[in-house]
Amino acid sequence: MTKRMSEKMLSSLAVAIMLIFVLVTSINAASHTVYIDEGDGPVQSGSITATNGANYDGYNSSGSGHRLYITLQSSSGSGWTDQKVALMDIGQSASGYSAVSGDLLWRVQLNPQYAYTDCIGWGTISNR
């Protein structure tokens, strides 16, 4: 029991340090927006921290050449995991949320379909 508690304390401390680091480096990071322009490959937004999941919203401009993926990703510190993926047609938006709980980092990624680099779009991540 004591061993488990100290493990939990250690892990909580690690998460806390990580959170502090993230908070310091991204001030008022309750939401982040990322833009993708022509010539860009996959782009990621800055990260936010959340315990109750996150909302995302994205838009693929009508000026884009092709469809655009928006991916909502979370990380507990051991790599990014895709929680939501949506494929936005030209001129279409996509939005949603994920209710995965826990002290997690969240971000969105925009990625043009196939190997194209002619998309223009926006993606936003925010706390739920």
Partner 1 sequence: MRKLYKDSLLVFLRSKNLSIPYFALLALTLAYFGFCFNNYLQYSEIFSVAMWLVRPCIFLIAFFIYCSYELAIKMYDNNMVEYLKIYGQGLWKAYGAIILCLSTIVAIPSIMFFAFVVFMYYYIDVYYLPFLIHLMKLSVLYFGLSFIIGMMLGTAMAAKLKNKRLAVYGFAVIFMLLNTTFTEAPFRIPYLLFNSYRTERMLYYIKDFLTVVPHELGNNFTIAPIYGFPMEPIRWILAVFWGLFPLTLILTECFNRKTKKALIAASCLMVLLVIGLFSVRGSTLIMDMRVDSYPFADPIYYMDSPREAYDGYEAGFIVEEYEMNLTISNELHAEVEVTIDNRDLDNYEFTLYHGYILMSVGTEDGEIPFTREGDYISIESLNGADRVIFKYYGKSPKFYANRQAIALPAYFAYYPKAGRTNIWDLDRYGYVVNISPNESDYTVNIRSDLEIFCNLAGSNNSFRGKSNGVSLFAGMYEEIAENIYAEPMRSDLPKREYIREAQEILIDIFNRLERPEPESVILFSDKRFFQMPQNFSLNSNTDDTVVMSDHITSVFCNNGPELAENIMESIIKPKANIWFRGGYLSYLFNRQDESDPLVQSAVDLNLLLEEIDEWRSLAGKFSDMNGEKRKNVSEKDRATRIADERRRYDINQIVNEKAAKYLFYESPRKEENLRIFFDYFTSESEEDYLGLVERLVREELEHDRN
- Which residues of this protein are in contact with partner 1, per CB under 8 A? 7, 10-11, 14, 28, 30-31, 33, 35, 52-53, 55, 57, 59, 61-63, 67, 73, 76-87, 89-91, 94-101, 114-116, 120, 122, 124, 126-128
Cβ-based nearer residue to partner 1, 25 or 120: 120
Retrieve residue 4's tokens.
Answer: 């488990």
Q: Which amino acid does the sequence have at 40?
A: D
Nearer to partner 1, 24 or 99 (CB): 99
> For residues 16-40, b (16+ Cβ closer than 10 Å) or e, as one string?
eebeeeeeeeeeebeebebebeeeb
Give Cα 19 distance to the centre of its chain: 15
CB of 93 to partner 1, least distance (A): 8
Q: Which is nearer to partner 1, 3 or 24 (CB)?
A: 3
**Rounded distance, CA 76 to CA 103, Å?**
7
